[in-house]
């Protein structure tokens, strides 16, 4: 499991971009309580999809299109 800062570092996304992806439902996190605050934790596999989404975003695609293209790339890697 990765916390949001580790996910950002590993995927090349900003923390705000990761929060946006989560808000839109493109990725999911688990929230755990650490002392007095809640923190997000993401599965390791989330880093790869975020990395691909960000790659397509940097190429000018919309968030939705970038997500759809990333899902295709993950589901059928032989096409890419």
Give pLDDT tens digits for 24-71: 999 999 999 888 998 899 999 999 999 999 999 999 999 999 999 999
With CA atoms as reference, report the closest residue to 50 among 2, 13, 6, 3.
13
pLDDT value, residue 80: 61
Q: Which domains does the chain have, with CATH numbers?
A: 2-79 (1.10.1660.10)
**pLDDT band at residue 79, thresholds of 50, 70 and 90?**
low
Q: What are phi and psi of 40, to 5 degrees?
A: -90, 145
**Reported pTM:** 0.84
Take residue 48 and report the two structure tokens written for it: 């790869």
């Amino acid at each position: 499991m990765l916390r949001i800062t580790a996910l950002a570092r590993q995927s090349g996304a900003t923390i705000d971009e990761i929060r946006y992806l989560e808000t839109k439902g493109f990725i999911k996190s688990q929230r755990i309580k650490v002392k007095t605050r809640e923190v997000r934790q993401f599965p390791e596999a989330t880093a790869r999809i975020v990395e691909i989404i960000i790659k397509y975003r940097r190429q000018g695609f919309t968030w939705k299109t970038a997500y759809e293209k990333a899902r295709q790339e993950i589901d059928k890697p032989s096409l890419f």
